[in-house]
Each structure stands twice: as C-alpha cells, then as structure tokens.
Structure 1
C-alpha cells in the first residue's frame, strides 16, 4: 500500500478530521498509523495566532490533521475550520465526524438499500446538509429561509462521485468499518450497550422528570414503539441528508415534522459551520433519537462507529494521491 512520506511543511497535509467532542477525538487516535510531534517537528506546528489544538500524523494513504474543537456547535466549527485553513492550507478534504441524533423510521425513498429503520450506533454519511433552524420559529418547528444565501451548496462533484462509489460498494464498506471498529475497541472502552438498550419512544411521549419509562427500564407499553433489533450488533451505514442547527433536537414531534419536510435522516450541530469552508463529508453515528429521552449510554459506541467508517472511507482514496 502507498505510504505518504513524512511532510516537510504544513502545506503537505491533505485531510482534516474535525471532532466537536473529546470522546470523538479519543476514538480516532487508535486509527493513526503514525503521529508527528509538534515539539520534535516545529515546522509542522500551527501558525502563531491559531487557537486550535491538533494531532498530526498519518492514517492510511494520507497525512492527516485531527482538530480538537473547543466545544460543539456551528459557530465553533466555523471558527475552527477558518483557523485550520490558515495553518494547513493544503487541506483538500475535511471529515466532520462524531455523534448525532437519528430519525428512527424513514421513508422508503430515503432508505439505503431498502433499510427504513435507523438504530443506535448506525452511521450516516452525508449526501448534503440542511440548515433547518435558519428562518421563522413556529410552535411545531422551523420554517427554513428559502433564499440562495441561506441555503448550503451541494457537495463538490468529486465528493458526489466518491459517495456514489461508496453506495455501490456498501457491503465492502461495512466490512472494513467492522474491522476498524474492532481495532478501536482494543484501545477504548466503546462496546455496544446491547440491543435491549435501544428503545424508541412514541413521538408523543415526552421525557418526565419523575417515573419516566426511559428511567424505569424496558416495559413494552404504550410509550414504546415495538421493533426488532438483532443482538449481535453491526452498525449499518446509511447515506442521506443531515439537518444542522444551533441547538440539540429534543422533540420527537418536531424531529418528524422536519424530517418529513426536508427529507433528512439525522440531526447534528456543526455541519453548517464547515460545509462551505472545505470540501466536506459528514460521518455521524446515531447516539439518540433526537427526542427528549437523552442519555450518554450510546455515545462512545456511536463515536467509534463513525470513526471506523471514516477510516474505511479513507482506504478508498477520496482525493487524489498525487501532490
């Protein structure tokens, strides 16, 4: 396999990985084949005035910059991307990876290979980003401002072609993802919490401060939407639109309204801040169902699933290997 030489300058890094949360960066680190110390290689270090922190190294075919964001959110992502562009002007592709909220049931027209259920731990690869909370606020959600300036652009032709290729090689991508997930799990406690802990509640059942079903354990009553999930969990890879907003989606009702209106299959908070700065692919894994029943039980496994999928994508040469 081709192995890139150690870069002699900051301009020779080609790929960036942005992680909004520390746990997301933690599960990426085992995937590095080699790291370059900024202490021992000051010529590779960030420029003066760049507040970002980085891990520099090699992953597979590319010299890579791992970006640690100060916090989650669109504004932070936008600032981190802008500073990274100044320090590492040779970046040609950015991966924004980590966790997201998922739409548990999607229309067949949006399904990847007919799979209309999204489960916790599943991965969503972006085919585009919808900035859903830019517009008028309504009781049931938001009306998106429909102007050229307000809407995010399409992915570049190169990214659209690459994503189309990955759709065609879906089985191979899933196999590679499973391989890298196992590698991550050798270094980080990121095991699957188990199918019994993957529960979808009715969109009409909001979290209660006391005696909520999501605190009391699993009882198949009117609040739980019955569906089956295999005990041996292999995260499925979905392709589709991600909704990006400034706040966490915490309503099953609003989730489903926006999902139906805009054709999105997941919700996250950073994509809109990076999308127009770099050629970008979002690789997000589902850690909750974008409703009010939030907990952190699935976050590490979901983050590891996303990182493993990103690593599998890098194996397929998303950008040219030539300088």
Structure 2
C-alpha cells in the first residue's frame, strides 16, 4: 500500500499513517520515503553526507524538538524511535550485496524524465544512522549544526517522527529513507529535489526486493510464523541468551527444548515445546516481556501469538 501526504510536518504524517493502518490492518511495517536536508561533515567520510546521497535511519528517528528544557540545558524526552527489525534485515542484505560487488541499488528505478537526472556525476552513497525530525524548515547552517550535533544526526526532515510514532502506537515498525536534496543553509534551493527523491525511491525499490512476500491473509498461522517472530527478539539471538530464557521458563519446559547453535532451529523447538505445554506460549511471552520490556519485537510477537492462539481448535 502507498499513500502520499497532503502537506508537510509530523502531524499530517501521523494522521496519514493512522488512516492507512486503520484501512489496512494487515500492515506490519511502514517506510517513509522522500527527501531531507543533509548534514555535511568535511573530513569524516563516514558522516560527510552530500547532495544526492541517501540516508537510512537504521539508528532510528529522533524527534529533536521533543525535549525537556531546564536552566542548565535540554535533553530528549525518550530515546530515538527505533527502526523496524523486519526492514533492518533487508537493509543488511542490501549492504551485503553492495560489499560483494553486486548491482548498484541506484539502478533499481529507471529515469522518469530528464528532470530527475543527477546533476553531478558519480553514484550516490548510502549512510546509515539517525535522522532528526521536527517542524522547522531550516535555512540556517548554524541551527542545522546545533540540532545535528546534540543528537548525532545525519539528516533532518519533517515527517519521520510522526510516522514512526503512529506506527509504533498501532503495533507496526517503521523505517525512514531520505534522499539529500539540500543542506538546510542560506543557499537552499529545489534543484536537487528530483534527483534526491529518485535516489531514495531507487534504494527503497532495491530494499523491497530483499523482503519476503507478504503472507496471504487467508493463510493460517503456523509454528514457523511463531519461530520467525521469536527470531527477531534480541533475548533469543545467542545460545547463552536462550539458556537464560529457558532458565526463567523452568525445568518442565527447558528440559524438552532442543539446544541448537542455529537460531532458527532453536526457536522452532522452543515454540513447539511451549505450544504443547499448558499455557507455554503465554509463559514464554511473559518471560520475554520481563527481559525486553515493551519493545517492538515483543509487541509484534504478542500480536502474532494472539492471532495464532485464536485460530487453534
């Protein structure tokens, strides 16, 4: 599903996200794709974002205006809004393909017209980190650098926080992908907007090719679906982490689960044993909540388990 905003800023973005998810409740994750101002950092090639480059918010979205202000300074009210684990897996596959010398993602979308042609030669780079989101239309390099410096931001835009927060409140993940169209300084212009938007769209197209097709709505959930959700929980990523979870579940369950260094096989055995044990899946969810809190992977698991148990005879 695709939707466009009627205007800029985080409030309309959150409203559009909420309406989209109400209309299509099967949506598991959203991508906010568009343009942003980049924060140049001369002398640091790992952070020197330039026009036409793409910034992917793998470090989350920072609502930089949502701060507690005191006489001694200010601090963010809460951490960065995290990126979707499902989409981060696809991001890592795109990065791995680039390292192996595969086709450059910029060719994933053809040139719609000459207006979208990149003004300067060379292929765009991809930067991974935090993107700031607020309602300021910046034309001040000093203000840009002040915001970026205090929160370690690579780019700034005006909708990502609204989408990420709305997605989280509706039980879905989010990823923000932005093409850099200007630097938010006095020389700001629209000249790079077509090329930057095309770069972001091309990256997104390449990203989507690395995602598994969505499960048909009519397909019943299986233990494999439960195992895939468990794979995304940080507390189950290593054998030692899984042993800690088993210890909290108790010997009746732990003694039946097969130990396996491979995450998929280990969590599949865990899901099977918990499914067969009275209230086993509920106990597993309780343990993971104790370890993880109300994290996005745990919320997604809770939703899936609710659907899985509801369809059981």
TM-score band by shorter chain is 0.5 to 0.7
Residue 118 of structure 1 deviates from its aligned partner by 1.7
The gaps in structure 2 that reach 5 residues or longer are: 217-313
- Superposed CA deviations along residues 5-55 of structure 1, whole A, max 9, x for unmatched, are xxxxxxxxxxxxxxxxxxxxxxxxxxxxxxxxxxxxxxxxxxxxxxxxxxx
Corresponding residue of 2:215? 322
Q: Distance in 2 between matches of 1:167 and 1:239?
A: 10
Distance 1:238 1:260, change over 3 A: same
Distance 1:160 1:313, change over 3 A: closer
Say whether 1:133 aligns with 2:65. Answer: yes
Measured in 1, the distance between the counterparts of 2:160 and 2:119 equals 27
Instruction: Show the counterpart of 1:240.
Output: 129
Alignment-derived partner of residue 166 in structure 1: 94
How many residue pairs are counted as aligned between the two chains?
208
Structure 1: which 5+ runs fail to align?
1-64, 109-113, 195-231
- The one of the two structures with greater contact order (alpha-carbon pairs below 8 A, sep at least 6) is 1
- Say which SS state the counterpart of residue 313 (structure 1) adopts: helix
Quote the RMSD (CA, aligned, Å).
Answer: 2.6
Name the counterpart of 1:77. Answer: 13
TM-score, normalised via structure 1 length: 0.58
Q: Which residue of 2 aligns with 1:54?
A: none
- Residue 281 of structure 1 and its aligned partner are, at CA, apart by 1.2
CA contact (8 A) 2:90 2:207 kept: no
Maintained 8 Å contact 1:173/1:312: no
1:282 to 166, 176, 180: 176
Tell me, yes or no, if the aligned pair for 1:152 and 1:272 is still in contact at 8 Å. Answer: no
More strand by share: 1
TM-score where L is the length of structure 2: 0.60
- Partners of 2:65 and 2:174 lie apart in 1 by 20
Q: After TM superposition, give the deviation of residue 172 of structure 1 in Å.
A: 6.5
* Structure-2 change in CA distance of 1:283 and 1:240 (3 Å): same
How far, CA to CA, are the matches of 1:173 and 1:96 in structure 2? 27
Structure number, greater radius of gyration: 2
| 2:82 aligned with 1:154 | yes
CA deviations on 1:155-201 (whole Å, 9 max, x unpaired) are 343334443343333346983422124x1x1456301223xxxxxxx
Pick the structure with more helix per residue.
2
Q: How far apart in 2 are the matches of 1:297 and 1:305? A: 14
Q: How far apart, in 1, do the equivalents of 2:137 and 2:154 lie? A: 15
